[in-house]
Structure 1
Amino acid sequence: MNFPWRAGNRLSLLINGEAFFPRVFAAIRAAEREVLIETFILFEDKVGSQLQGELIAAAERGVSVELTVDGYGSADLSGAFVTAMSEAGVRVHMFDPQPRLLGMRTNLFRRMHRKLVVIDGRQAFVGGINFSADHLADFGPEAKQDYAVEVEGPVVQDIQQFVLAMLAPPERQRRGWTLRARAKPDSQAAARAGVDSGQSQLVIRDNREHRNDIERQYLQAIGSARQRLLIVNAYFFPGYRLLREIRRAALRGVRVELILQGQPDMPIARFSARILYDYLLRGGVRILEYDSRPLHGKVALVDDEWATVGSSNLDPLSLSLNLEANLIIRDRTFNRQLFEHLQALSSEHCQAISQAQLARGAFWRMPLVFLGFHLLRHFPAWTGWLPAHTAKLALLQPHARAKAARNDTLRRERQ
């Protein structure tokens, strides 16, 4: 396990960029000591530019600001964009930066896929929303449907300590994080607190000691389901164990629903997921495809007690390669709010998939189903052959000439 269960947290579900960005920007404006951000994607659009402005303003008033972006997801950031932040005092880190080969990015795997924001160690945001305008409805038909959770309370300190540990040098990072991760959940205290006390737990996936922690949380929750299991996932191609447990839950009478992409931003996502539909439908799983716009969410709930919101998809990249972070939540009020939203989503914007629909083209799909199942069985072992990147960060420094010119300008303004 990564961190203990923490009771007494205040949790708020944030749906799409319209809810997420104003809350994050307001929190940054209110920061007094520290702003920590990890994000897979930061674009130089209206959202990225507003984030840049908020971080610069925070740094200029003396707040410590650490921003970490992924070297693949945010590879196109311009030097001027980064320099403006660095010169103001924002420390900009890039995860596993790699040179381009013939103009192409080389670090396709082992991405830093987390989306975490921590303000003054008292307020945090966890979810799947990147800092880009395609998480806003006015982006158009390609705007993404996604989720995050805002949290205040004891679990925020765990998130803060984790992000700070990732900023440490590799030798200190390994030693400090390993010691921190040995903390065991106080299950008795969690039971005493009950499931209406904002219980939360940070769970991460890395390529060292915590390779299967998020998957294990899903397996345990699915195995304990008694009434309902609802999974919303953008990129659904889980390992064989997860696939089998989802089907077993339906076979023992649990109402199991999957909400998956019907209008995907990447067609391969829908194609891959559909390879698995027949196996799940024959087990009693109800599958719905969200057709309004690309689905980017990574949330799930079990019965009225367990829920998760985070960055981890149920696909090979998230479960076997990427660095991910999810918040696990045991709180009936939060669970009910998420459930009611997803019920409305499924009834108003989703199409149920039937076995009759799958029967069309079944003759060519069967070989893919056979190959897909065997891929699912063996993929985690195969990925072990790939090099496991360490959490390598590069601090992006402002260009020396630009920095000198800015300093000269500031000196003239003071005179």
Structure 2
Amino acid sequence: MNVAVEHIATDQPPDDAKARDLDYGWQPGNRIELLENGEAYFPAVFEAMRQAQREILLETFILFEDKVGHELQGILIEAAQRGVKVIVSLDGFGCGELSPAFLSELAEAGVKVQMFDPAAKIVGIRTNWFRRLHRKIVVVDAAVAFIGGINFSADHLGDFGPEAKQDYAVQVSGQAVADLHHFALAQSGRQVRTRRGWRRRQQRPSLWPTHTDDGLVRLIYRDNLQHRDDIEEAYIHALSKAQKRVVIANAYFFPGYRLLREIRNAARRGVQVQLIMQGQPDVLLAKLAARMLYDYLLKDGVVIHEYCQRPLHGKVALVDDDWSTVGSSNLDPLSLSLNLEANVLIRDRAFNQQLYQSLETLARNHCQTMPEKRKPRLWLWRLTVGFLVFHVMRHFPALTGWLPAHKPRLKPFESQAHEH
């Protein structure tokens, strides 16, 4: 039976309970570690899985049958064989090239493999382009969690070559792991006991905690039900609070007007605003779309860097000295309007400074900075391409509404040789 993925049971709280808990969703007392690229991420997540005693929950957009994918497969099989409950949720588009043999080996070892919105190719072309499971989450024994933008593929390692991706994730230990665990378990379609912290997801609590202790973490996500714009709202709220600095590093940058306006307004009131974007994109349209916005932002003092060493795949940002976000969500129509995404918000000064130093090194040593006054590009073909790219990207989410409607599902993979 197919399992619906986009549902979490919720109950409405009384108004007085909501009023008493202004910091709902923010979990204190966490340890957050920045993991930059596969060199830091894969050893950390693989070691946690090897030490698992009870449960591994994994969601990813991409899993390839390369050296990273095969190592992951071996770890999951070994964990399942020693009695660990292993649930793996894969996107039907991003993981659509996995072979039946690769998946069967997992299933036959006892790993519960689920594919989000799988679809057969038509005339060799994939049809499940939209509403992807784009999250990257791993939770081990409900004790440690990993979340960010890094997929399980060798192109996140430097030895992959010039096309190796620059990316970020975090390892979280502490009270916030309970929220990540509950979320991942619920999204896998498993019946879970509703935690008190999840009974108010429809209430839109404050995105800015009333206290400023370090180690605060909050999970935010977007789905196509009650949480369509939670991640976008978190960015807008943080930008409106900015007083000193803003740094946004995002692979695919083409946000809506409200977010663009908050970026511009922060720069206008004297905040140092830096954007780090792709200079070597894996999708040329992404670079063209982002450049349509440059003049709008540069004229108000926003500093724009293009990362030119290799493809930028990160989805991170920081505001002032203590607010940061890391996750799977780009700032483009796919992530903000269609995909299933998840980020964490972090209030921690040491982590903020660590992320700032990493991004500052990136901007200073490996980027080219766009000039404040660029030469006008008035050639007819540039104007035509710019106009088409801008309006196609801007209206892309609405255009997808003309496509045949469907409800994406998680479908369990069962090996033909594996009897249940």
Q: TM-score, normalised by structure 1?
A: 0.89
* CA distance in 1: counterparts of 2:306 and 2:288, whole angstroms: 12
Q: 1:364 Cα deviation (Å)? A: 4.7
Q: 1:102 Cα deviation (Å)? A: 1.0
SS in 2 for 1:191: coil
Q: Which residue of 2 aligns with 1:122?
A: 143
Which digits, 9 at most, give the CA deviation of each residue in 1:125-160, with x for residues without a partner? 010000000000000000000000000111111111
Q: 1:164 Cα deviation (Å)? A: 1.1
Assess if the C-alpha contact under 8 Å between 1:2 and 1:182 holds in 2: no
Identity %: 57
Q: 1:337 Cα deviation (Å)? A: 0.5
Greater than 3 Å deviation, 4+ residue runs = 175-180, 182-188, 355-358, 360-391
Among 117, 120, 125, the alignment partner of 1:104 is: 125
Q: Which residue of 2 aligns with 1:295?
A: 312
Assess if the C-alpha contact under 8 Å between 1:2 and 1:202 holds in 2: no
Residues 157 and 376 of structure 1, relative CA distance in 2, 3 Å threshold: same
* CA distance in 1: counterparts of 2:389 and 2:23, whole angstroms: 31
SS in 1 for 2:126: coil
Return the structure number with greater helix share.
1
Among 358, 369, 383, the alignment partner of 1:341 is: 358
Q: 1:390 Cα deviation (Å)? A: 3.6
Assess if the C-alpha contact under 8 Å between 1:112 and 1:323 holds in 2: yes
* CA distance in 1: counterparts of 2:35 and 2:249, whole angstroms: 15
User: 1:261 is aligned with what amino acid?
Assistant: Q
| 1:191 corresponds to 2:210 | yes
**Superposition map of 1:168-179 within 5 A:** 168=189, 179=199
Q: Which residue of 2 aligns with 1:63?
A: 84
* CA distance in 1: counterparts of 2:405 and 2:315, whole angstroms: 24
Residues 12 and 143 of structure 1, relative CA distance in 2, 3 Å threshold: same
Q: 1:68 Cα deviation (Å)? A: 0.6
**Superposition map of 1:172-251 within 5 A:** 179=199, 181-182=201-202, 185=205, 190-192=209-211, 194-196=212-214, 198-251=215-268
* CA distance in 2: counterparts of 1:388 and 1:343, whole angstroms: 44
Residues 46 and 187 of structure 1, relative CA distance in 2, 3 Å threshold: closer
Measured on the aligned residues, the alpha-carbon RMSD in Å equals 2.6
Residues 358 and 93 of structure 1, relative CA distance in 2, 3 Å threshold: farther
Among 283, 304, 328, the alignment partner of 2:345 is: 328
Q: Size of the alignment, in residue pairs?
A: 397
Q: 1:183 Cα deviation (Å)? A: 6.8
* CA distance in 2: counterparts of 1:301 and 1:386, whole angstroms: 36
Consecutive unaligned residues in structure 1, runs of 5 or more: 408-415
* CA distance in 2: counterparts of 1:314 and 1:187, whole angstroms: 18
* CA distance in 2: counterparts of 1:366 and 1:37, whole angstroms: 44
Residues 187 and 255 of structure 1, relative CA distance in 2, 3 Å threshold: closer
Consecutive unaligned residues in structure 2, runs of 5 or more: 1-21
Residues 126 and 387 of structure 1, relative CA distance in 2, 3 Å threshold: farther
Residues 87 and 358 of structure 1, relative CA distance in 2, 3 Å threshold: farther
Which digits, 9 at most, give the CA deviation of each residue in 1:258-313, with x for residues without a partner? 00000111111111111111111112111000000000000000111211000000
| 1:279 corresponds to 2:279 | no
Assess if the C-alpha contact under 8 Å between 1:39 and 1:115 holds in 2: yes
Residues 349 and 362 of structure 1, relative CA distance in 2, 3 Å threshold: farther
Q: 1:386 Cα deviation (Å)? A: 5.0
Which digits, 9 at most, give the CA deviation of each residue in 1:223-279, with x for residues without a partner? 111111110000011111111111111111111110000011111111111111111
User: 2:290 is aligned with what amino acid?
Assistant: A
SS in 2 for 1:322: coil
Assess if the C-alpha contact under 8 Å between 1:207 and 1:388 holds in 2: no
Q: Which residue of 1 aligns with 2:155?
A: 134
User: 1:266 is aligned with what amino acid?
Assistant: V
Residues 53 and 265 of structure 1, relative CA distance in 2, 3 Å threshold: same
Among 31, 40, 44, the alignment partner of 2:61 is: 40
Q: 1:378 Cα deviation (Å)? A: 5.0
Q: 1:21 Cα deviation (Å)? A: 0.2
Assess if the C-alpha contact under 8 Å between 2:220 and 2:230 holds in 1: yes
User: 2:252 is aligned with what amino acid?
Assistant: Y
User: 1:218 is aligned with what amino acid?
Assistant: Y
Which digits, 9 at most, give the CA deviation of each residue in 1:152-211, with x for residues without a partner? 111111111111111227xx79x99984624775889x434x242x10110001011100
* CA distance in 1: counterparts of 2:103 and 2:200, whole angstroms: 32
Residues 266 and 369 of structure 1, relative CA distance in 2, 3 Å threshold: closer
